[in-house]
Amino acid sequence: MINLTTGPVKITDEVMAALNAPAISHRSAAFMHTFKQVEQELCAQLQVKQAYVLTGSGTLANDAMLVQVKQTGKKGLILVNGEFGERLKMQASRLGVQYNCLEKNWGDRFSMDEIRAAIIHHQAKWVLLCHCETSTGQIIMLEALSTLCQSLDVAVYLDCMSTFGTMPINLKNVAMATASTAKAIGMVAGLALVFSNTTVLPAGNMPVYLDLYHYLQYNGVPFTISSSLVNGLLSALDIQKQQVAWHNVKTNAYLIFERLHPAGVIPFANANTLIFTLVLNKRFAFDLGRMLECNGISTSFESYYLMERNWLQIALFSTCGEADILKLLDLIRHYLSKNR
């Protein structure tokens, strides 16, 4: 199958071999050597001072980050224009974080002017958002956002679930960011990642599993963590640096998918898009997804928020060739011509 889903992604033979290495104790010197290599590589690739590796999903990473936001005692602003912005808002509410929201329709872009106005109006001291809103594929321009927030002395907290591994990311001007191994880095799910340029604060009133300060006191490994997953992540990070040809395919992808624009099928796409959301109106995304599967192409269409809206998503998270993308395009065109 050609894997064009938002996850799980295609796993290379090298990463699979690393995952299959004999398990060792997370208290052993050999494990800590590999673990520190992972931390150092994450810090180098993302330009952050500290990386935390937790056992769990991206949602856990966001909870751990939000605990740190809460510990600042400051009120902030959450940007919401899709499912995962809504999820950040829900998680913040459950943890008792003080915030206001800047909300837009799913797929609508945030301008820097309206973000500035909302920050000033609400006297926000931090901003939290998805770098890429996975539910639509919308990406915010991080450099422009960082510059704006620096000028206002506002900290940036970022969910990078769908940009970690898809593009070079420089987080040097971000207070904290999150990712997971379930997306474009080319690894299996199981590790939650938090990247930090700020001093973490003790969170004694929160569950210890969410307390990054506690992780720091135990050299990053206070609890059991799988040596297999850590091995796999180190291998995936190494491979990521070498995929020059694949980066070129991703760079050209928008030019290929742009051919669907006259049909109005991918309204949220732009030159930075690596998640293409097909909005099919009266056509049936579920039927299209099944048809593509029968022709050897996996896409995302069974998540509840996609099924509710009759959307289908194509994500360039797994390595594929331009011929695969062209095959997909032909199949979609054929489906659309038959179901006008």
- Name the strand (E) or helix (H) holding 293: helix 285-294
pTM score of the predicted model: 0.95
Residue from 106, 61, 85 nearest 313 by CA: 106
Report residue 5 as tokens: 């889903």
Q: What is the mean pLDDT of residues 218-229?
A: 98
Q: Are 81 and 136 in contact (CB under 8 A)?
A: yes
Write down the CATH number for the domain with range 243-338. Answer: 3.90.1150.10
Phi, psi of 270 (to 5 degrees): -150, -175
Q: What is the mean pLDDT of residues 198-202?
A: 97
The predicted-structure confidence for 43-79, as pLDDT tens digits, reads as follows 999 999 999 999 999 999 999 999 999 999 999 999 9
Is residue 310 predicted with pLDDT exceeding 70? yes
**Spatial separation of the C-alpha atoms in residues 316 and 253, rounded to whole Å:** 8
Write down the CATH number for the domain with range 15-240. Answer: 3.40.640.10
The residues spanned by each domain of the chain are: 15-240, 243-338
The per-residue pLDDT for 339 is 79
Is residue 262 predicted with pLDDT exceeding 70? no
If you average pLDDT over every residue of the chain, what do you get? Answer: 93
pLDDT band at 256; cut points 50, 70, 90? confident
Q: Where are the beta strands (DSSP E) in 186-295?
A: 191-196, 275-279
**Spatial separation of the C-alpha atoms in residues 119 and 50, rounded to whole Å:** 27
211 Cβ contact partners less than 8 Å away, ≥ 6 residues apart? 64, 67, 202, 203, 204
Could you say which DSSP state residue 98 is in?
Answer: -
Is residue 336 predicted with pLDDT exceeding 90? no
Is residue 244 predicted with pLDDT exceeding 60? no
